[in-house]
Structures are given as C-alpha cells and as structure tokens.
Homo-oligomer: A and B are copies of this chain.
Amino acid sequence: MLKFEIHTINQKARRGTLKTAHGNIQTPAFMPVGTVGTVKAMMPESVKETGAEIILGNTYHLMLRPTAERVASFGGLHKFMNWPGPILTDSGGFQVMSLSGLRKITEEGVTFQSHIDGSKHFLSPERSMEIQYLLDSDITMAFDECVKYPAEYKVVQKSMERSMRWAKRSKEAFIDRDGYGLFGIVQGGMFEDLRRQSIHDLTAIGFDGYAIGGLAVGEGQDMMFSVLDYTACALPDDKPRYLMGVGRPTDIVGAVYRGVDMFDCVMPSRSGRTGQAFTSHGVLNMRNACHIDDHAPLDAECTCPACRNYTRGYIHHLFRAGEILGSMLLTMHNIHFYENLMKQIREAISENRFEEFHDRFMSRFQNERKM
C-alpha cells in the first residue's frame, strides 16, 4: 500500500508526493534507469546529487544475473547496490520480448532463453511478483505481454486481454505491505477502445498506481500524445500515473501536460555514454570537433559538477581519447538535466503557471527539432 497526495493541479498537470517504504517521491518524477543494479557509470551518491529520488531496476536483467534470490541474500536491491532510496522494478515482460532469445508464450507465462548464455527461464505473473518481492522493490509492476508496433487490432486486443488476466494474477500474487505498492499497466496499443477496455479492467482489479505501456515504441510524439489525451485522464484521479520508457524532454513536458506523474528512460544515461549532452539550448554532440577549443561549460545554466568544473573542450577531449570519465561526466550532467527539468515542472505547477511553461518549452524545442 502506497500513499499518494496531490498538492496542486494545473488543468491536467498534477504536483504530488508518493510515499514509499524507502522515502518520498515528489511528482512529476523522473526515474534514472539502474538496469542491472547500477545506474551505468555513476556512483549512487552522484545519482542522489542529481535530485533523483527513485530509480528503476530491471527484473529481466537481475533475474538472470545475479538472480533475484542472490540479491535477496544480500538484503535486497537497495543494500546490494547501495541505493537507500525508493526503487521501482519493471515486471520483466517488456525485456523478455525485446532482448531474450527463443520465446514460448502460453496463458501460464513465458519460457525464454537468456541473451547472456542461452539458458532457459520462465516468467509468469506469479514468478514476476516473487522476483520483485525478493528484490524488495518499493513499486512492483504487474506482469504484462508486450506486442511489437505496429500490430493489427486483433493481435493487440488478444495481447491486451491476456495482459489484463495476468494483471489480475499479479494482484493476487502480490504481497501487500505498508510502503510497498503494485502498479497495473494499461495496454491496447494505438486503439482507443482497447485502451478504455484495459483501464476498465485494471481499475476493477484495483492498483496502487497505473502505468501506461506500449508507447514510445516508434509511433511518434503526435500519436503518443493523442493516446495520452484519452488515456491519462481516464485513469483514477487519486493514484499516480506512470508513462513507461519515456522519453525526450518534450515528451515528458507534453505528458505531464496530459496528466502523467512518473517517467523512466535510458535516454539521459545511454546518450551520455555516447557523447550526447542535453542542455538548455538543445542537444550537443560532444564528439564534434567544434567543441575542441570551447572553454564554456556544457550548459551555463546548469549547476551540476560536470558544468561547474569542466569545459566543453575537456569533455570533447575525454570522448576523443575514449576515457571513462567522459561517460561519467555526461551521464551525471544528463540525469541532472532531466531531474532539474522535473523540478522546474513541479515548481511551475505549484505556482499555477505550468500551461505557460509547457507552451514555451514545447515551442522552443519542438520547432527546433532538438529534443
């Protein structure tokens, strides 16, 4: 059971606090991705310094290595990875479909091969709940099936209906405790009636929060927003809403505008490792030779350690020389940029000026096609 308080609403945008066993999360919130028990290239202390209050762990990766049972023997994922704050884990469903080898899906669950060593594994709603319990996740995600985009109506419908049956089994298998919660996942692809059916089924079961799955799969921002337009505000008002795997800064601002409270995405960390920097003036590719003699910081408006203490020229040098510190500094900066964006969003909502913030942000970055 999780407590969620909403403090301010600006049209559809909400400013709130979600309370978990390992601490409070101010929403709208962005969760850095800690795939396999580490936010790549960052010390947990540095993750906290970015302003992040919750991180995400991947059930699929952790069940294969080091295994959920082993993480439990180390006292759970928080202790294992030295992150004392809240953790949300996904159910494994999405990555089984995107990463693993040979799969066999039945009503019972999914049998699949590890992408690491080809070993055989099984995931079901019950096993996913057990794994996330062993990991000691503050927020557990229901186990769902994910279809590739684009897919035909019948395929999406069949998959969504199975996901709803699995959501019910997830709820039944989830061990409720104070400060721990279970989120259901809305499916239905780009079809409004299927999304509405999914919401109907999930709310009948009852969850601590509701995630929107199956977006940011290549449909484009316009279509994503149009799905959010009828999905987000159809979810229960008093529970947090989580848009999975999203996204670019404009995706996030547009989704908050449509009523979403939580986000996760590998973009700031992954792009940091490949030399991309998110800044208040758009995205920079730090590998480009134009930065070689630039004495300016990545972003003059940013207060992160990478911007306070280093020049673009130095960071360019690190990427040219293939130095690990380049990945460390850009990951740090990018996550700081995302967390600072969330802070600005929360402040704008608190001060009843989010619509203006949204309009300015979207016109500034969307027209420039930079974010």
Contact = CB atoms under 8 A, between A and B. Distances in A.
Nearest to A310: B82
A293 interface: yes
Contact of A311 (B42, B74, B295, B318): B74
Contacts of A70: 292-293, 313
B325 A43 contact: yes
Contacts of A80: 311, 313-314, 317
A41 B74 contact: no
A73 B310 CA distance: 14
A204 interface: no
A324 B321 contact: no
- Quick one: which of A43, A80, A295, A313 has the most chain B CB within 10 A? A43
Interface residues of A, number: 34
Contacts of A38: 318, 323, 325
A281 interface: no
Interface string A253-292: 0000000000000000000000000000000000000001
A81 B314 contact: yes
Interface string A105-135: 0000000000000000000000000000000
- Quick one: which of A42, A66, A320 has the most chain B CB within 10 A? A66
How many copies of the chain does the oligomer comprise? 2
A321 B36 contact: yes
Interface in A56-83: 61, 65-66, 70, 73-74, 80-82
Given A293-B70, A323-B36, A327-B324, A317 B41 contact: no
A328 interface: yes
Interface of A: 36-38, 40-43, 61, 65-66, 70, 73-74, 80-82, 292-293, 295, 305, 309-311, 313-314, 317-318, 320-321, 323-325, 327-328
Closest 10 CB pairs of A and B: A41-B324, A38-B325, A82-B309, A66-B317, A36-B321, A38-B323, A80-B314, A324-B324, A65-B321, A40-B324
